[in-house]
Structure 1
């Protein structure tokens, strides 16, 4: 973390709260990881049963840390409407799958990699090319499970997967503390890193979608953040960070605060970003019916990220700028705006758009555009 004094002065109470969370982890998840290591398979079986069937399915003598975590998970925040969980993230589901994959997943990961502290930990965990491909796959699967109708209901695939992400953060935090620079301000994979990740799939993802002409209105923004407030709860994110974030305006304030106290992207950030762009382009070029080459997709992804993050962040992340003469983004944006108007102009057309989003992604508009 950097420049804390200036950030606190500018942001007031919110800035002071960030300082108090500098060394905050996730005590409930941290305790479960310790318990799993101490008691082995028996604890793992209890955790799996509790996640899929609820706290009531456990024996009274079940491990106390697992019991405490489940009690927290099953205490639904007051702002969460159970009917909303049955419907899923209707805003994200209204986005054509190909564009959701290309924009949302890619921009969220690039946003995460822009933090040099996170990037250093990830590079240390494995080779960037292999890591990028596996993270793309894992993140894509988790996101689809999370936004599906019923995905976040207790025992649902998104519910279980989100808690597993939370425990993975706790395990990474425990492992990284062994060689962490104790003189550095902040805790590895702590609350502020988790807030950054959460913003990647809300604010940052939809900033990226705007660059290709897919925009949402104020009502959709509020619906998006109501849904993702429950994701934040399951991830163990402190409510003081996300509780008052109800739209893009408030999310941007939080994002600006985190960015102001985070060092600029470094060599690890650029290495991971480049590997991720390559992996995404390779994966999308290999989809049956794809009409763009890997190189063309790399240019398209780079153009989208450059527009979403701005020139300064684009340069720091090492993203190549697409020449204006070969940049398809203006035409793609215009066509997507027209398509989205017809997809969401009525309740029936919006329902059909969400239904298609639940199916396997296909070439979609890009094929029509370039065929």
Structure 2
């Protein structure tokens, strides 16, 4: 796939036509309540879709309830195996470097400031992102009836609803920014779940083979298609993924008040994740190590003494870690485990929804959940 400025600019005016049209009709017909009820129930496999749903959305849910035809299930399983091995670190990287990478996109991040749900509550943002990945990447998550399928449907509908509501405010500069949550921004976000994560794991000293990396990228290509990203624009190889990442960085990354605000909230959320002074300011250092100093400077990520030690991460990892995941890979695992063990809660307006860790992943990662 050859990515050019002209091609990517055209993608800024493209959304997700079918669910966008459905959401628009629901708003016009004052049926938003039915959608809200649906979104609350989508994550429960044992619950049927509400009977009062309009026919067109019920048909859409049925049409999108399976993976695309011809999916390579062996590659899907290989990707979930990698997640079982490194899932704690991946979950943590998604809640740190991947989010900062997204916040550095000056146009895309503006959407977050239009929505309290996405923009002002870092706690819920992190919890919901982590929950989405756990459902999708758990063994069997993408199989028929799997929780990953419903998680994808929910996110896709939310994207269309937010796209519609932001445009209806009359305060969104479409000529300057393109459509809210446009195809280019969806594509860039998809990279933060796939190629950016692979690079992050390797940067921290964790072993990921070329085959594992390509299978992981393939997994997220399938998820991207199901999330409404055009199949023809999704990178097919790590080489293409890296090329696209560089293009998007050149086109959109830079300082912005919105990006700095979001990053500050993220750092405040993570402060004190592990008690004691030893790990103070480690997370800003890890973010700098994975996203690079330029993005970190734009987002005003503070410097810390941990950065000096990270320059010698290969040597210290070799001396201190017998399995050579790397010293900092081990630290990320510890921080990620602390994050997951919080039994994070995805905040809603009036209630708390438990952060659910699939049973098989809890067993693999050695996480006990009270009352189970």
Deviations 1:115-143 (A, max 9, x none): 12232222332399951111111111111
Contact 1:77 1:230 in 2 (8 A): no
Partner of residue 338 from structure 1, selected from 309, 315, 323:
323
TM-score, normalised relative to structure 2: 0.75
Partner of residue 163 from structure 1, selected from 116, 139, 153:
153
Q: Which has the higher helix share?
A: 1
1:172 matched to 2:162? The reply is yes
Could you tell me how far 1:215 is from its partner in structure 2?
3.2
Sort the Cα spacing of 1:306 and 1:63 in 2 relative to 1 into closer, same or farther, 3 A: same
Deviations 1:14-69 (A, max 9, x none): 4443232120000122123234433455667789999988xxx999x962254245
What residue in structure 2 maps to residue 301 of structure 1? 283
* Distance in 2 separating the partners of 1:237 and 1:252: 18
Contact 2:135 2:141 in 1 (8 A): yes
What residue in structure 2 maps to residue 115 of structure 1? 105
SS at match of 2:367: coil
Contact 1:115 1:263 in 2 (8 A): yes
Contact 1:51 1:155 in 2 (8 A): no
* Distance in 2 separating the partners of 1:209 and 1:64: 42
Partner of residue 90 from structure 1, selected from 67, 75, 81:
81
Map 1:134-173 onto structure 2 (within 5 A): 134-173=124-163
Sort the Cα spacing of 1:31 and 1:302 in 2 relative to 1 into closer, same or farther, 3 A: same
1:225 matched to 2:217? The reply is yes
Sort the Cα spacing of 1:296 and 1:131 in 2 relative to 1 into closer, same or farther, 3 A: farther
Sort the Cα spacing of 1:201 and 1:96 in 2 relative to 1 into closer, same or farther, 3 A: closer
Map 1:1-371 onto structure 2 (within 5 A): 14-37=4-27, 38=29, 39-40=31-32, 63-68=55-60, 70-72=62-64, 74=66, 76-78=68-70, 80-85=71-76, 89-95=80-86, 97=88, 99-126=89-116, 131-177=121-167, 178=169, 179-242=171-234, 244-247=235-238, 249-282=239-272, 284-285=273-274, 292-293=275-276, 296-297=278-279, 299-323=281-305, 327=309, 330=313, 333-334=317-318, 335=320, 338-340=323-325, 357-360=364-367
Could you tell me how far 1:208 is from its partner in structure 2?
2.2
Could you tell me how far 1:185 is from its partner in structure 2?
4.4
Sort the Cα spacing of 1:297 and 1:233 in 2 relative to 1 into closer, same or farther, 3 A: farther
Contact 2:42 2:150 in 1 (8 A): no
In structure 2, the gaps of 5 or more residues are 327-359
Sort the Cα spacing of 1:257 and 1:278 in 2 relative to 1 into closer, same or farther, 3 A: same
In structure 1, the gaps of 5 or more residues are 1-10, 286-291, 342-352, 363-371
Could you tell me how far 1:361 is from its partner in structure 2?
8.6
Contact 1:211 1:308 in 2 (8 A): yes
* Distance in 2 separating the partners of 1:139 and 1:215: 24
Could you tell me how far 1:333 is from its partner in structure 2?
4.4
Sort the Cα spacing of 1:205 and 1:141 in 2 relative to 1 into closer, same or farther, 3 A: same
Sort the Cα spacing of 1:43 and 1:356 in 2 relative to 1 into closer, same or farther, 3 A: closer
Sort the Cα spacing of 1:304 and 1:333 in 2 relative to 1 into closer, same or farther, 3 A: farther
Contact 2:118 2:125 in 1 (8 A): no
SS at match of 1:210: helix
What residue in structure 1 maps to residue 331 of structure 2? none
Sort the Cα spacing of 1:357 and 1:29 in 2 relative to 1 into closer, same or farther, 3 A: farther
Could you tell me how far 1:272 is from its partner in structure 2?
0.8
* Distance in 2 separating the partners of 1:171 and 1:17: 26
Aligned CA RMSD, in angstroms, stands at 3.6
Could you tell me how far 1:214 is from its partner in structure 2?
1.3
